[in-house]
Amino acid sequence: MSVPLKSNKHLNIRLDTKQNLEDTFIIKMKNSNFNSDKLDAETQFLNIKSDYLVSLNNNAIHVDPAAVLKDVFKKADENKDQRLDSKELSKWIRLKIIEHITVAVSNNYVLFSKIDINPKNGVISWGEYHMYFLKKRGFSKKYIHNHDEKRHRGLQRSIKEQIMRDKASWLEAAQSDPDALTLEEFLAFTHPESSAANHLTLVDELYDKFDRDGDELLTEDEFAVLQTLDGDDETVIIRQDENERRAEFRKSIDVNGDGKADRRELLRYVAPQSPRHSEHEAEALLALADANHDDALSLDEILAHPDLFLKSKMVDTAQSFHDEF
């Protein structure tokens, strides 16, 4: 059993010259929101859309997908046996997840400060964000100043749809004021997988679903043996996959082994840095691409499924997270 990161509520590129920090943000508009991962001299493998086009400061860099996959394979293959087993896959994916979360959180304040300018008052209004959105899409200051935010005249349909998706995500992230985001709310908007508020919401949903006695301690039985009501409001016990859920509880939730999980343990469980996420991703990739069923992936098996791996957390961790939200 796996709990999703999203709440149910609602290439090795090196920069030759130093660049303005704002300009090193990659704005991926495919699924709305910003992907504000910073590009610097550190290794970053990025792809946008199916043509593997990286847009860096309005300059197009075409990346050979095979070269990207070969480089990642070489780095992930710790024992250099030309095979990636589940342990190597999981370790590499977790490394990329932690790297992504670290960058997202560290860059959040910088990007927030770049947008919070009119006025600079500690919150970002929808108007400020919308102006920044248009600016990063290359529109002129005159167009942005005269832009009709309600009708969006002159914008392509795809951009209008992106704005609508952003507005929906904005309203979901806004807790106190629907027209403005605080620093933490802005992180929930741009990187929902990194937001502590979203993690708390996921934990609350776990309690709502499983904590039958309401004591805010999740026991192994509560997690493993599901209960629901039938049409006559009688309790029905569901034991399907019970053994798998018990194993999940013991391995990934009950850290101290006392048979119950408190809020801290559940927060660790839902956090994207939890080993379970990288383990599940590694298992999924193996199931889909391990053609000879040797419980490992060769380079040829990976190259046979370029889209699968280029869009996975093994390569493009940021976009993979954002596709889930």
| Residue 145: predicted pLDDT | 85
- What angle, rounded to 10 degrees, do the helices at 196-210 and 263-270 form? 120
Compute the Cα dihedral for 138, 144, 147, 152 and give only its sign.
positive
Give the pLDDT confidence score for residue 9 in this predicted structure: 46
The letter for the amino acid at 262 is D
Distance of alpha carbon 244 from alpha carbon 235, whole angstroms: 22
Categorise residue 115: left if φ over 0, alpha if ψ from -120 to 50, beta otherwise.
alpha
pLDDT the model gives residue 279: 94
Q: Which residue from 5, 4, 9, 3 is spatially nearest to 171, judged by alpha carbons? A: 9
Taking a C-beta distance cutoff of 8 angstroms, is the pair 282, 276 a contact? no
Round to whole Å and give the CA distance between 135 and 143. Answer: 10
Fold of domain 196-270: Recoverin; domain 1 (1.10.238)
Residue among 174, 167, 176, 87 at smallest CA distance from 127: 167
d(C-alpha 121, C-alpha 136), whole Å:
22
Give the tokens for residue 171. Answer: 């309203």
Rounded to whole angstroms, how far apart are CA atoms 170 and 173? 5
- pLDDT per residue as tens digits for the range 69-91: 999 999 999 999 999 999 999 99
- Nearest Cα to Cα of residue 279 among 257, 252, 253, 300: 252
The reply to whether omega before 119 is within 30° of 0 (cis) is yes
Query: Strand 180-181 relative to strand 124-125: parallel, antiparallel, unpaired?
Result: antiparallel
State the Cα–Cα distance between residues 228 and 237, nearest whole angstrom: 7
pLDDT at 64: 86
- Domain ranges for the chain: 196-270
Cα atoms in the 13 Å half-sphere on the side-chain side of 119:
1
Residues of the chain with pLDDT under 70: 1-62, 228-240, 322-325
CA distance 45 to 100: 11
pTM assigned to the model: 0.70
